[in-house]
Structure 1
């Protein structure tokens, strides 16, 4: 883990997560079967809306580490919301794998040549996003601290 942490420190992890998340938001509107973008389907907007939680978490991590602040209950609640969003990431990994696996079902149909490369790219990016999210949790625990609110008021000295 220390080797991964030395290669992907908290800044690089946040930037990589931001990049992967942005690419996936754009690719969420892409139809791999038709090689077109669909902006009129309402269900294509679910992932971009849920990714706002992840974008906000990345900002909070960046702010807390650079300002050397302690974790607070709002950050904890945001991280818990991100745990729920990660369940959606797992579903998207499963869904992408099922789409790639369905190529043999549509042999009689015209499938665009970009089906397999883009499908594999989407699957890899979702897996990478899940792993980067876990790494960002580890960086949060290491650089910001654990969520210990039982004696939070005892350890808080406002005059320092």
Structure 2
């Protein structure tokens, strides 16, 4: 784990997550069967809205590490909310794999030439997102600290 943390610092991990999220937001509007973008479907806006939680968590990690601050209850609640969003990420992995494997269900239809490449890229990005997110949780624990609020108010002295 030490080799991975040396190779994948918290900054690199955050940049990778940011890049993956931005790419997946664009690919979320892409219709893989029709080779078109759909901006008027309300379903396409679910993932971008949920990814706002992830963007906020990345900002909080960056702020806490650069300012050398301790974790607080708001950060903990945001991380717990991100755990729930990760369940949606796991569903999107399943959904992307299902769509990619559905090519055999439509042999009489002409699939666009971008079906397999874009479907594979989407599936790989959805698979990488939870892994890098778990790595950001590990970086949070290493650089910011664990969530221990039992004695938080007793040990807080603003005059020091």
Asked if TM exceeds 0.5, the reply is: yes
RMSD: 0.6
Name the structure 2 match of 1:122: 122
SS of 1:108's equivalent? coil
Name the structure 1 match of 2:142: 142
- Provide the C-alpha distance between the structure 2 equivalents of 1:52 and 1:111, rounded to a whole number of angstroms: 33
- Provide the C-alpha distance between the structure 1 equivalents of 2:125 and 2:32, rounded to a whole number of angstroms: 15
- Provide the C-alpha distance between the structure 2 equivalents of 1:117 and 1:4, rounded to a whole number of angstroms: 29
1:51 corresponds to 2:80: no
Give the ranges of 4+ consecutive aligned residues of structure 1 lying more than 4 Å apart after TM superposition: none
- Provide the C-alpha distance between the structure 1 equivalents of 2:23 and 2:67, rounded to a whole number of angstroms: 29
- Provide the C-alpha distance between the structure 2 equivalents of 1:2 and 1:35, rounded to a whole number of angstroms: 43
- Provide the C-alpha distance between the structure 1 equivalents of 2:138 and 2:107, rounded to a whole number of angstroms: 44
Displacement of 1:113 = 0.7
Q: Which runs of 5+ in 2 are unaligned?
A: none
Tell me the alpha carbon deviations over residues 42-100 of structure 1, each in whole angstroms, 9 at most, x when there is no partner: 00000000000000000000000000000000000000000000000000000000011
1:70 corresponds to 2:70: yes
- Provide the C-alpha distance between the structure 2 equivalents of 1:104 and 1:25, rounded to a whole number of angstroms: 27
Name the structure 2 match of 1:113: 113
Displacement of 1:149 = 0.4
Instruction: Tell me the number of residue pairs that the alignment of Structure 1 and Structure 2 aligns.
Output: 160
